[in-house]
Amino acid sequence: MTKKIKKKAVSAILTMAFISISTAIPVKAATPPTTVQMSSTYTYDEMNMDIAELCALYPGIVSSGSIGTTVQGRSIPLVILGNPAAPHSIMIQASIHGREYIVSQTTMATVEYYARQFSAGNCQDVLSSTCFYIVPMANPDGVTIAQSSAPEWKANANGIDLNRNFPVGWEMTKGSSAPGAANFKGYSPASEPETIALMSLATARDYSCYINYHQQGNIIYYDDDLTSSVTSALSTILAATVKNINRYPMVNTSGTNASGTTTYGGFGDFILMGLQKPGITVECGSAYGIRGQSQSSSIYSRNADTWAAAARLFAQ
């Protein structure tokens, strides 16, 4: 796309988005899932069974694959929601941090929600325009460690924080100096198989945008340092569109990060700074792990309708 056309497209999106988000929409309670259980700890094995079940229940709407293999040999599942031949695509990833596994559960519940909607003849505009490429559990080893032996574990099985291992601003990233539960960026950028798998999916096609799910904070991060004005504008309007549904406040991450220090090397940095594509990081709920389990249903119902809104934003 030429710069001129891109500018025109951005301006059209901004105008349309202003019209659509200026009408306040109340938070809707999405129908509860029936395949994905919401009440107890959601394991890697349970997720794989749900993926198989949703593919069987909704052929032509839900399909699956793998984006790679973890340090401990687990396949990292990819869920494809919609028709890969659709003109637009959105990438969604959850649980790059092990202890934040509730967002795997809510992401899978959202896949089921749209599959049910689409098969009932609803939201057809979303399905015909956009295909969603979803990694519901980007760090299955870390999730399994957090669920079995170390509840505070964020890293992968090598003790490397995957969300500091991406090759954008990696050199500037601080944190722990040795492998462990959290905040060690690794000995070199993109050293981990999970990092490489996400980078490979993220660059496989021309996504309209990226949505990353983490816990905790009930906020939306939406911008970054060194983003172009176009990327910045698109991320801002994406965040505003999502905020209009889930009611999480927007936080601009230019010059800072979640913990208030200068940290790069995250998947969001790779998207915004590296690829110069719009993306948001949604920090769901007010507690992660077992303490946040009771919030899974409310996180799901607050966020379920945001995928359709994001698709409509970029398909207009």
Residues that bind Zn ion (CB under 5 A): 97, 100, 214
Beta bridge partners, 91, equal: 133, 210
Name the residue nearer to Zn ion (CB basis): 153 or 314. Answer: 153
DSSP H helices, the chain, are 3-21, 44-57, 102-119, 124-129, 140-148, 193-202, 229-246, 267-269, 296-303, 306-315
Q: How far is the CB of 97 from Zn ion (least distance, A)?
A: 4
Cβ-based neighbours of 13, under 8 Å, separated by 6 or more: 234, 237, 313, 314, 316
For residue 214, the minimal CB distance to Zn ion (Å) is 3
**CB of residue 268 vs Zn ion: minimum separation in angstroms?**
10
DSSP letter for each residue of 56-112:
HHSTTTEEEEEEEE-TTS-EEEEEEES-TTSSEEEEEEE-SSGGGTHHHHHHHHHHH
Q: Which is nearer to Zn ion, 42 or 58 (CB)?
A: 42
The rounded distance, in Å, linking the Cα atoms of 90 and 242 is 14
Best CA proximity match to 104, nearest among 68, 143, 141 = 143
Identify which of residues 164 and 277 has a Cβ nearer to Zn ion in the complex: 164
What angle (nearest 5°) sits at the alpha carbon of residue 281, between those of residues 177 and 199? Answer: 65
Using alpha carbons only, how large is the chain's radius of gyration in Å? 18
| Cβ-based nearer residue to Zn ion, 121 or 260 | 260
Nearer to Zn ion, 80 or 157 (CB): 157
Nearer to Zn ion, 108 or 182 (CB): 182
DSSP 96-108: SSGGGTHHHHHHH
Left, alpha or beta for 217 (phi > 0: left; psi -120 to 50: alpha)? left
* Closest separation in Å from C-beta 29 to Zn ion: 26
Are 182 and 176 spatial neighbours (Cβ–Cβ below 8 Å)? yes
Nearer to Zn ion, 97 or 302 (CB): 97
Looking at this protein, which amino acid is placed at residue 255? Answer: G
Query: Edge to edge, what strands does the sheet with 75-81 contain?
Result: 62-69, 75-81, 130-135, 88-94, 209-214, 279-283, 219-221, 250-251
Min CB(257)–Zn ion separation in Å: 11
* Distance from C-alpha of 246 to C-alpha of 27, rounded to nearest angstrom: 6
In the bound state with Zn ion, the residue whose beta carbon lies nearer, of 89 and 246, is 246
Q: How far is the CB of 307 from Zn ion (least distance, A)?
A: 20
